[in-house]
Amino acid sequence: MNIEKLKEYEAEFLEQYSNGFDDRNFSHIMKTFNPLKLEEFAKEALKKENFETPSLVIDGFFKVVSKSVFVSLFDKLKLKDAIATLTSYEKDMLSIEIYELLYGNKRNGFEGLVEFLTEYKLAKWTIISLVPYCINRHEDYFIKPTTTKNIIKTFELEDLIYKSKPSFEFYDKYTKALDIMKSNIDKSLSPDNVGFTAFLKVAMESYGDFK
């Protein structure tokens, strides 16, 4: 892990935006980044008591995805179509995976959700990682493929090979590496975990390391 490069990026970024994400000169870049409202919606739509009614959970899951600017319109429409075909039993199974991912055995829920969505060609990082991030913005990370690949390469994250199909093993290793990186920079650059990876993306773009 190249912490030296991270610190160089931090210094150059703060020289330009002295107050980090609160800097008024940076606000136009982050105008679409307002996660608090989505967090509030997700926590209400996917609260534990809602899991007594699987159809309510599935509806909430879709609405969280549909309200996010991070997921493509194409994938939102595909998810909508897939959900429309689900039987009551399938909704029960999907709600169980979502519960495990958010409140139970995270590995089992993650892998179960990947397996379930694979059938509909929707096992994508953006869909799998969105809801955990919305519920726990300071613990879980939203995984955006291009940004992730560039972070691994630029900061020399060892033993991490990105693959398009989500895996819990990669997610666990990658997020632990991001936690270490986050702990080494000024708190103003990590208002939450998407904020932190946004800082990395902007820094890489500014200094020619984003491909």
pLDDT in tens, 147-185: 999 999 999 998 899 999 999 999 999 999 999 999 999
pLDDT at 21: 66
- Tally helices (H) and strands (E) across the chain: 10, 0
Q: In 3D, which of 82, 167, 168, 161 has the Cα closest to residue 120?
A: 82
Radius of gyration of the chain (CA): 18
Looking at residue 185, what DSSP letter applies?
S
* Segments of the chain scoring below 50 in pLDDT: none
